[in-house]
Amino acid sequence: MRPVVFIWLFLLTAVTAALAQKPSVEVYKVKVVMQGGPRLRGTLADVSETDVTINGEGTGWYQPTRNIPLSGVKKVVLRRRNRQRSPVQGAILGGLLLGYTVVRSSQKNGFRSPVLYGLNLTLAVAGGAGLGAVLGNHLGPNSRKVIRPRGRDGEQVSENLRRQLEPFTYAYQLDVLNRVRP
């Protein structure tokens, strides 16, 4: 029993350490809602004192870049671009949880042969992984953030919106990483 628990703990820590690695720069998809009503979509590239730059969602290799004036923005909705970790984490946790349950239950009521034990454990881990992947995909982390401009006059609104958006831009994150790396 103890070797099985140690193997499970080793696998859990190894998988957790592998999933803890984050990409160096996070890319945010944005939906910019303008004062007049139009909505523009793309990835957040940069923000200056007067406008926000987004790379549009073109087809194929063509990605039109748009500069949107900050004074005309009603709100900006940010979403993380890569949300593929949730199904993988759900599958791992579901498989480990159901596998651990089978191991614990087999201690109380043993199997007639080791082949039945292995088959039962394999099917339980596969079923738990499948269920965990489905749940992880639907119950994944909500990475949506809404940013609204605040202030009284146009210049104050633009400056406030620029300061709120700046940490999420690709250019800012790349600049921070270049300052940290030797």
pLDDT, block means (10 residues), the chain with 182 residues = 66 61 70 86 87 75 77 86 68 88 83 84 89 78 78 82 87 77 58
Supply the pLDDT for residue 85: 58
Polymer length of the chain: 182
Q: Collapsing DSSP states into helix, strand and coil, what is residue 118?
A: helix
CA 52 – CA 20 distance, rounded (Å): 31
What is the pLDDT, as a whole number, of residue 23?
A: 47
Amino acid present at 58: G
The per-residue pLDDT for 1 is 60
The conformation of residue 20, written as its DSSP 8-state character, comes to T
> What is the distance between the alpha carbons of residues 49 and 44, in angstroms, rounded to a whole number?
15
Sheet strand arrangement including 28-34: 65-69, 51-56, 39-47, 28-34, 73-80, 144-147
- Map out the domains of the chain as residue ranges: 28-82+143-180, 84-139
Which residue's entry shows tokens 């639907």?
138
CB 56 within 8 A of CB 63: yes
How does 122-145 read in b/e, with b if 16+ C-beta sit within 10 Å?
A: eebbeebbebbbebbeeeeeeeee
Q: What is the pLDDT of residue 115?
A: 86
Q: Is the pTM of this model over 0.85?
A: no
Residue 157 has a pLDDT of 85
